[in-house]
Amino acid sequence: MNKLKNILLIITGGIAAYKSLELIRRLKDQNINVTCILTKSGSEFITPLSVSSLSGNHVYSDLFNLTDENKMGHIELSRAADLILIAPATTNIISKMAYGSCDDLASTVLMATNKPVYIVPAMNVRMWHNPATQRNIQTLVEDGVKFIGPDKGDMACGEYGLGRMSETQEIIDTILEHETSLLKQPLKMFSALVTAGPTRELIDPVRYISNKSSGKQGYAIAESLHHMGARTTLITGPTNIPLPIGPTIIKVNTAEEMLNATEALLPVDIAICAAAVSDYKANHGINEKIKKNGENITIDLTENPDILKRIGKRNSSRPSLVIGFAAETSDLLKNANYKLTAKGCDWILANDVSDGKIFGDDNNKIEFITKHSSHSWEKMSKEKVAEKLSKNIINYFTS
C-alpha cells in the first residue's frame, strides 16, 4: 500500500517541462495529491492553466504573492508535502540549491524544507558534464538530496548523451521504493550518537572511582535508533552486558575519553547522553599505587568536563536534538528542569534513583521533560523506554 499522500512538484524551465504534465497524471493515478510550483522560466514552456487543470490544485509561482504569503506560503508548501520532487530540474536550480540561494519561490521552499528532496535533472549533455554542474551535484549528494537520472539518449537540441529526463515510470518507481523503505526506517536520513554506561576514573594504577550505571538504557536506545534506520554510534564506558548489534561501538574508560570520542563524531543530528559520567577525577598523578600506612587518606578530586553541557551549548555543529538524562535523588522535576536549561538540552529524561533501584534494573520510570512540557511515563522496560523515545524523535523530525 502506498503511504505517500502529498508531493510538491517543482517544475523548472527546461525543454522537458512538458513531461511533467504526464508525471502529474501518473502520480495522481497512485492516489497522490500533487501540488505544483512552476518557476517563471517553467511557465515559458508550459502554462499554469494546464498544470492546475491536471493537478486539480492551485499552481504556485510567486514568492511575493500576497494571498499565499499571508499564510507564509513558502513554509506551508513544504510542511504539507511528504516529499519534494523537482522535475525537470534545470542546471540553474541545481546550482541555486548547492549554493543555498533563494531568489524565487521554488528555491526559497527548497531552503526552508526538511522533507526528502528528489531531483530529476534534464539538460543539454555539456551542461550536465560541465565541472560546475558536477561540483554542485556532488555537494547536493553530500547534503542528502537524491537524484533520479539523467538518462542517456537523443536530445531536443539534436545532440546525444547524458542529460535526458528519466522516464515517468522510473521516477515514480524510484520515489515509491525509497519512501517505502523510509517508512520502515523513518530515521534513515539521520545520524545519532548515544553515550552509555559509567565512566571510570583511576585514582592509582589499580583503583578507580565509578558508579553503578549498567549501560542497559543507553544500549537499548542505541539499538532502537539503529532499527529505525539512524546511523548510530554508541560510545560506551565499561559495562558487563552484551553490546548491541548494529550500532558502531566506541569503547572508552574515562570522562575525558568519552568527551573526545563524542566531539570527534560531530556533526550528528541526534545526541543522547545516557552515560553516567563521573563528575570528578583524581587531581594527582596515577602512576604510583597508593600505599596503606595505617592513617586516613584524602583524595583530592577535580571536576570532569560536562559532556552534555559541552554538546548542548555548542555554537557550531550542535546536534539538532540534544537529549540528556537526569538521575536525581530529590526534587526530580525541579532539578531536571534546571538541568535542561543549564546544559542547553532539548529534552531531559529524568528518573528518581533515590531507592537505588534504577541502576542495573530492567525497568525504568521516566519523567519526559521538554522546554514546554513534562510527561510522566508509566514504569516500563528499558527497551520500551527506548522505543517510546525513538517515536518522539521520529515525530520531532517528521511532523
Q: C-alpha grid cell for residue 316? A: 557550531
Nearer to ligand FMN, 105 or 366 (CB): 105
Does residue 61 bind ligand FMN (CB under 6 A)? no
- Residues sharing a CB contact under 8 Å with residue 224, sequence separation 6 or more, in sequence order: 383, 386, 387, 389, 390
- The residues pairing with 7 across neighbouring beta strands, listed in sequence order, are 34, 83
Q: C-alpha grid cell for residue 152? A: 542517456
Task: Find the binding residues for ligand FMN in span 321-360 (CB under 6 A).
Answer: none
Nearer to ligand FMN, 124 or 214 (CB): 124
Does residue 13 bind ligand FMN (CB under 6 A)? yes
Nearer to ligand FMN, 155 or 265 (CB): 155
CA 230 to the chain's CA centroid: 8
Please choose, out of 39-47, 112-120, 201-209, 290-298, the segment that lies near ligand FMN by the rule CB under 6 A: 39-47
The contact mask relative to ligand FMN for 93-132 (x = CB under 6 A, - = no) is x----------------------------xx---x-----
Nearer to ligand FMN, 42 or 247 (CB): 42
Tell me how many helices (H) and strands (E) the chain has: 14, 22
Residue found by looking up cell 492551485 in the block: 58
Judging by beta carbons within 10 Å of its beta carbon (0-12, 13-18, 19+), is residue 382 exposed, middle or buried? buried
Residue found by looking up cell 494546464 in the block: 50
Give 169-223 as a DSSP string.
HHHHHHHHHHHHHHHHSTTTT-EEEEEESB--EEEETTEEE-----SHHHHHHHH
Nearer to ligand FMN, 127 or 282 (CB): 127
Reply yes or no on whether 157 is catalytic: yes
Please choose, out of 6-14, 68-76, 318-326, 364-372, the segment that lies near ligand FMN by the rule CB under 6 A: 6-14
According to CB under 6 A, which one of 35, 55, 61, 91 is a site residue for ligand FMN? 91
**Shortest distance, CB of residue 23 to ligand FMN, whole angstroms?**
15
Q: What is the dihedral of CA 255, 260, 265, 267, to 10 degrees?
A: 100
Of 36, 102, 157, 345, which residue is the catalytic one?
157
According to CB under 6 A, which one of 4, 9, 14, 273 is a site residue for ligand FMN? 14
Nearer to ligand FMN, 110 or 307 (CB): 110
Does residue 12 bind ligand FMN (CB under 6 A)? yes
Residue found by looking up cell 570522562 in the block: 255
Closest to 229 measured CA to CA, from 251, 247, 216, 249 = 247
The answer to whether residues 339 and 323 touch, using CB atoms and an 8 Å cutoff, is no
Does residue 370 bind ligand FMN (CB under 6 A)? no
Does residue 90 bind ligand FMN (CB under 6 A)? yes
**Shortest distance, CB of residue 117 to ligand FMN, whole angstroms?**
15
84: enclosing H helix or E strand: strand 83-89
Which positions are catalytic? 157
Binding residues (CB under 6 A) for ligand FMN: these are: 12-16, 39, 41-42, 90-93, 122-123, 127
